[in-house]
Amino acid sequence: MHEWSVADAVIRTVVNWASENHVTQVKKVKVGIPSFSFLDVEILKEAFDTMKGDSPLDKAELEVVFKDPIFKCRNCGLTFSLKDVSDQLESLKGEFGEEYPLHLMPALAPSFLKCPRCGSHDIVAETQDITIDGIEVEESGTAQTVG
């Protein structure tokens, strides 16, 4: 269900951007999502297609790219990936079920994941939440990509 809020955020942001940049037709929106949020792409696309009508996005396609963050422990300096904390993620999903905290708020990661070497929660990740990584527009018959 949370996918509907994410689609809402993406659509509102792009509509606002299109208005500021006098863009009338958006062809594609490329969205980056932290993989550990486990958003359902099918539901996200369904929500996007349902909510995009009557806007410069009415014909736009949604492209979703899942990003695997690299974490860095600020306590011991270890750099580690999602696979190094997969057991922690699994246990969290088991405890909370579908609407687990990192599904709703990826920025909560340091609270629920700890450094596999020293156990510290003082960790930072490059990708923390949803990002809009590119918008493809068509103006005067020319396709352009805006990063």
Q: How far apart are CA 142 and CA 139, in angstroms?
A: 5
For residue 2, give the H/E element and its range. Answer: helix 2-20
Instruction: Tell me what percent of the chain is helix, strand and coil, each rounded to the nearest 5.
Output: 40, 25, 35
- Per CB under 8 A, 8 contacts other proteins: yes
Counts for the chain of helices (H) and strands (E), in that order: 5, 7
C-beta of 36 vs 112, nearer to other proteins = 112
- Per CB under 8 A, 65 contacts other proteins: no
Among 107, 117, 118, 126, binds other proteins (CB under 8 A): 107
Residue 84 tokens read as: 């190094």
- Per CB under 8 A, 132 contacts other proteins: yes
Q: Which stretch binds other proteins (CB under 8 A): 62-70, 82-90, 124-132, 137-145?
A: 124-132
C-beta of 13 vs 35, nearer to other proteins = 13
Pick the closest to residue 36 from 94, 100, 96 (CA basis).
100
Task: Using CB under 8 A, list all residues that contact other proteins.
Answer: 1-2, 4-6, 8-10, 12-14, 16-17, 47, 74, 99, 101, 104-105, 107-112, 121-122, 124, 128-132
